Amino acid sequence: MPFTDVAVVGGGIIGTCIALALQQRGHAVTIVEPNELGAGTAGGSAGYLAWDDIFPIPSPSIVAGLPRMLLDRRGPLVIAPSHLLRMTGWGLRFLWAARPSAVRRAIAALAPLNRLAESALYDLARLAGAERYLVRETVLHVCRTAKTLAAAERLLPILAVEGFPAHVLDRAALRVQEPALCDDLAGAIAYPGSGRCTNPRAFGAALAQHFLSNGGGLLEARAIALERDADGWLVKIGGEALRAKKVVLAAGVWSGALMASLGYRLPLESARGYHLMLSNPGVMPARTLLFEEDHFCATPMEDGLRLAGTVEFASLETPMNPARADVLYDVAHRYLPALRRDSATRWMGSRPSLPDSLPIIAELRRHLGIVVAFGHERRGLTESGVTARCVADLVEGRPPPLDLRPFRVERF
Ligand SMILES: Cc1cc2nc3c(=O)[nH]c(=O)nc-3n(C[C@H](O)[C@H](O)[C@H](O)COP(=O)(O)OP(=O)(O)OC[C@H]3O[C@@H](n4cnc5c(N)ncnc54)[C@H](O)[C@@H]3O)c2cc1C
């Protein structure tokens, strides 16, 4: 039976960064991953390095807008009718997490995590020679209406206090920055400390390649359960198993099933998102643009302009709905009138989503030796480096660089 110091279950961006961080500290690590190593959901993501995104999704204003959003089948949020019943518990927890006091606590938890996120990801990128895929830039959150701009402006004092200064651009200043945008926009919030990954799939592959070239192990298999062994854990894969002193579970939304094999029932849902990759877009913004009202990004990438976003709650088995990707072009075209969609490709991926918008990063108290890291929803690429640093500390029994209590399993 194969043996390793640490088995990392799931080789998406979170698992790959964790494996790399542990390897850097001298551990023998094997990743268990049935698909392309380092790609996962982040490979198709918007590539927005949103260090300053310290706000949870549940909030009083989102709750107020929910009925209108849910009635619009082409809007940024849909729930598959067959999934509605299953979503009840998740939905109730989401509403509970939207209380102002809970929102304040979530910000207080996310801000320290994200303050370390940039340096932690750059450290791993440098280690793997993948820094060329990361760009520092001022991302613009574009607002169509004065009402949205004013609401976004109200967040600026919170951002400033937490160390993420941002400022308002009026309509004229926005036009100067991004002349390709239409002229009936109210303005934007400029986030000078943000960034972008110009090819998330190649970035993850470069991290994975560095891990493998330095003796990292890969078991190309799907873990089906985690079981206790005499002096560690067994990662069960079909009839076989990988023995490990410690296990890190980082299988994104699929972590739910493996947690269930240990007896944990978590409200982990797949918030599916789509992208439309335009290799010949006809217009290229100078930076990442996020469209506040329509909840999607336009990100300049190595191979074209990527429109990415929308949330669709549906079961993991539901096939992708191409219309959800196509709607991204229809909406983006209203902002960028010269946009073309020749040779567009569609993609769908699953954000691992917990109702309070916080990830789980913790050692399991009832299963010492298993550290879990999943549920990063829309910020997994952004928070991958800092998560890896925290997990490496948990595996080694060292104090992590920030208070991880808000990210414990027991909150559910
Ligand atoms: C449309 C869209 C846009 C996004 N934009 C951004 C963005 O701009 N910025 C940002 O920071 N984040 C963004 N995200 C979120 C980000 O992609 C996710 O948070 C992140 O990919 C989660 O990483 P993960 O490694 O936890 O999970 P995943 O990437 O889902 O990886 C999980 C891995 O586990 C493997 N696996 C599954 N089951 C098993 C098993 N049983 N055994 C072993 N392995 C298993 C899977 O094959 C997969 O490789 C976006 C997501 C979407 C959908």
DSSP state of 407: G
Structure tokens at 273: 């998102």
Structural domain contains residue 93: no
Query: Up-side HSE of residue 180: CA atoms within 13 Å toward CB?
Result: 17
Q: Measure the CA dihedral 26/30/36/41, to 10°.
A: -70
Ligand 1 pocket residue status of 134, Cβ below 6 Å: no
Atom of ligand 1 nearest to the CA of 251: 34
Structural domain contains residue 381: no
- For 271, phi and psi rounded to 5 degrees? -90, 90
Structural domain contains residue 230: no
Ligand 1 pocket residue status of 34, Cβ below 6 Å: yes
For residue 178, how far is its CA from the centre of ligand 1 (angstroms)?
Answer: 31
| Number of domains within the chain | 1
* In contact, 307 and 281? CB cutoff 8 Å: no
Structural domain contains residue 370: no
Structural domain contains residue 33: no
The pLDDT value recorded for residue 377 is 97
What CATH number should be reported for the domain holding residue 308? 3.30.9.10
Distances (CA, A) of 372 to 118, 153, 251: 21, 36, 9
Residue matched to tokens 């619009």: 72
Please name every residue paired with 228 in a beta bridge, in sequence order, or none if there are none. Answer: 233
* In contact, 302 and 202? CB cutoff 8 Å: yes
pLDDT (tens digit, 9 = 90+) per residue, 102-146?
Answer: 999 999 999 999 999 999 999 999 999 999 999 999 999 999 999
Q: Please tell me the residue having the least CA distance from ligand 1 atom 35.
A: 10
Ligand 1 pocket residue status of 118, Cβ below 6 Å: no
Structural domain contains residue 250: no
The pLDDT value recorded for residue 355 is 97
Structural domain contains residue 99: no
Q: List the end-to-end C-alpha distance of the chain, in Å, as a whole number.
A: 35
Structural domain contains residue 296: yes
DSSP state of 99: S
Ligand 1 pocket residue status of 364, Cβ below 6 Å: no
The pLDDT value recorded for residue 231 is 85
Atom of ligand 1 nearest to the CA of 222: 42
The pLDDT value recorded for residue 239 is 84
Structure tokens at 173: 């200043």
Query: What are the start-end ranges of the H helices in 186-275?
Result: 200-213, 255-261
Residue in 260, 206, 201, 216 with CA at minimum distance from that of residue 32: 216
Q: Give the 3-state secondary structure of residue 169.
A: strand
Residue ranges making up the domain that contains 173 = 56-87+135-194+268-353
In the predicted model, residues of the chain with pLDDT beneath 50 are none
Rounded to whole angstroms, how far apart are CA atoms 79 and 84?
7
